[in-house]
Amino acid sequence: MGQRNKSDLLDARMLSQMIVTARKDQIKVPIINKQGEEIKELIKYYQLISKQKTQNKNHLESIVAKDGSSIVSKSLNQEIKLLKKKEKDILTAIKQLISKDPELHQAFLNIQSIKGVGEISAIVLLYHFIKYPDANQKQIVSLAGLDPIKRNSGTSINGKARISKAGSKLCRGVLFMAVLSAINFNEELKTFYERLKENGKHSTVAQIAVMRKMIIISHSLYKNNKVYEPEKYLEYT
């Protein structure tokens, strides 16, 4: 107990060196953008409303299944209807906010041109890119917590690779939902996903790989003011 193995010591030494040698231009600090922060707050509120709606739906289903109180059922239906309206109103507010800036609005449309990326996903990705305007593709993946790391400490010799999850949980969440759509409706990403599966990758690993591709492509469209062109997809695979 209390002893460190060689891998742990090397990790500690490397981290120490990184702290000492990291240059100012290597550190990506989020930009405080008033418009971006307002978008973020609206997204969080949207998520809260959506969670409440899901909880109410689940409760309603359990009430109906056991032929429970009609009063409770009626009340839940009314609440669900109200929450749906709130969701719609929040989305409208976010899109109106984005539309005030022509460049931002075009970037929003460009990101949505990827099949599988809906309005919510595009909004979250747009916020992520606004927050880190100087990040390159590798950094933007890392800032979403999708960068692969290998566990090689303690008793593990050949640790399994996993994602760091050190970045934006919000970004990972919407990308995961987008992936479920993309691997069904986006031919290029579907092919990429199926190829990984054929090569023995677990479904989760393959999905994470597609998530990385989606954020890289989205970031490229954002940076270059381009729409998604399937014939150019190989540039990013």
Q: What is the pLDDT of residues 181-231, one digit of tens each?
A: 999 999 999 999 999 999 999 998 999 999 999 999 999 999 999 999 887
Confidence (pTM) = 0.74
End-to-end CA distance of the chain: 45
As a whole number of angstroms, the distance between CA 93 and CA 112 comes to 18
Spell out the residues 6+ positions from residue 130 whose beta carbon is closer than 8 angstroms to its own.
31, 33, 35, 36, 39, 104
Write down the residue that tokens 């692969």 correspond to: 148
Residue 36 confidence (pLDDT): 82
Residue 14 confidence (pLDDT): 40
State whether residue 104 is helix, strand or coil.
helix
Residue 172 confidence (pLDDT): 87
Residue 231 confidence (pLDDT): 74
Residue 46 confidence (pLDDT): 92
As a whole number of angstroms, the distance between CA 147 and CA 161 comes to 10
As a whole number of angstroms, the distance between CA 159 and CA 198 comes to 23
Helix axes 34-65, 70-99, angle to 10 degrees: 160
Residue 163 confidence (pLDDT): 67
The segments of the chain whose pLDDT lies below 50 read 1-27, 155-159
H helical segments located in 22-118: 34-65, 70-99, 102-112
